[in-house]
Amino acid sequence: MKAGFVCLAGAPNVGKSSIVNAYLGKKISIVSEKPQTTRNRINAILNLPDAQVVFVDTPGIHKPVHKLGNYLVKIAIKALEGNDLLLFVVSAERFGEFDRIVAERIKASNTPFIGVINKMDRASKQNVEKAEELFKSMDRCLSIKHVSAIRNEGLDELLKNILDNLPESPAFYPPDMITDKPLRFMVAEIIREKIFALTHQELPYSTAVSVDYVEESPTLIKIWCTILVERNSQKPILLGKGGKMIKKIGTLARKDIENLLDAHVFLSLHVKVKEKWTENDRNLNELFKDEL
Ligand SMILES: Nc1nc2c(ncn2[C@@H]2O[C@H](COP(=O)(O)OP(=O)(O)OP(=O)(O)O)[C@@H](O)[C@H]2O)c(=O)[nH]1
Ligand SMILES: [Mg+2]
């Protein structure tokens, strides 16, 4: 039996979470068109007949300009420790400064890595060449793989390569477990994904979601959540005209949560203003206490 921790590192928006979801065959980690979607270290556990691959999804590494961004980069860098293997993920569509910042972090981790060039369906030859050049210039680059998470291309070959480089080991988690995150986290993330999909500019970056209370009966699961925003002016935008926006977020999230739980769900969303929570160390330390 082979088993090990495989951490995906990369700039924001390169498709790390999409790759993890493609392997698991379901949405463990939320995805959006916007950068800085993932905020936590999320273990997604792929159980195979003779192997257990623990994919460690991380926030994108970038040059933070806000305090929340600082925390995200800290979480991502901490997650680079203690893995058997790294996947250095870049996008064939865009390559640049942030990828070079990631490279420095990967070098410092002293862990072997596979260079993964994602979004090959939208590749520019120049970007692919630049990425290959960077990977080849680094020590401990085991191989370079070209994939498209969206089209599910190249992922089988990449997985074979991952398994080749994992140690013999017993499994780390029970074979029916797919993530280390509790249900409440998954529910809050689904809601956050809808906010990322439906709202614009700074609003998604100003929100956090918490699950306050869950009540289960044989026929219905009732879930009460709070969405934090950081300014009074953001509340009416999130609610929308006549409550239209929050209703849409709630409806889409409830459908996904029902799929996840395989049960009927009642979902209540409450919007609360917490002044400048993204700039407040106490709030951020509390939010990320399990990750830092
Ligand atoms: N065209 C194309 N788009 C992709 C591919 N993989 C992911 N995407 C898209 O790229 C965007 C970002 O994907 P994510 O998986 O959220 O990226 P991430 O690296 O996890 O981003 P952060 O969590 O913000 O660091 C989404 O809109 C995805 O649908 C791919 O292979 N091809
Ligand atoms: Mg992500």
Low-confidence stretches of the chain (pLDDT beneath 70)? none
Instruction: Confirm whether 169 is domain-assigned.
Output: no
66/142 same-domain check: yes
pLDDT at 289: 92
141/67 same-domain check: yes
How are beta strands 85-91 and 113-118 bridged, if at all?
parallel
pLDDT at 284: 96
Total structural domains within the chain: 2
Q: Which of 8, 13, 127, 196 to mutate to test the pocket of ligand 1 (most atoms within 8 A of CB)?
A: 13
The first and second tokens of residue 287, run together, are: 């939010």
pLDDT at 178: 96
Q: Which of the listed residues 164, 199, 231 is the one where a domain comes to its end? A: 164
pLDDT at 216: 95
99/209 same-domain check: no
Exposure string over 138-173, b if 16+ CB within 10 A, otherwise e: eeebbbbbbbbbbeeebbeebbebbeebbeeeeeee
pLDDT in tens, 191-232: 999 999 999 999 999 999 999 999 999 999 999 999 999 999
pLDDT at 271: 98
Q: State residue 112 phi and psi, 5-degree precision.
A: -65, 150
Q: Is the CB of 21 under 6 A from ligand 1?
A: no
pLDDT at 186: 97
Q: Is the CB of 31 under 6 A from ligand 1?
A: yes
Q: Which of the listed residues 103, 131, 164 is the one where a domain comes to its end? A: 164
Could you list the residue range(s) of the whole structural domain that residue 220 is in? 183-287
Considering only CA atoms, which residue is closest to atom 32 of ligand 1? Answer: 119
187/153 same-domain check: no
CA distance 87 to 84: 10
Q: Which of 16, 19, 31 to mutate to test the pocket of ligand 1 (most atoms within 8 A of CB)?
A: 31
CA distance 89 to 147: 10
Task: Report the CATH number at residue 55.
Answer: 3.40.50.300
Q: Ligand 2 centre and the CA of 220: distance in Å?
A: 31
pLDDT at 130: 97
Considering only CA atoms, which residue is closest to atom 11 of ligand 1? Answer: 33
pLDDT at 225: 98
pLDDT in tens, 222-275: 999 999 999 999 999 999 999 999 999 999 999 999 998 999 999 999 999 999
Q: Which of the listed residues 112, 132, 164 is the one where a domain comes to its end? A: 164
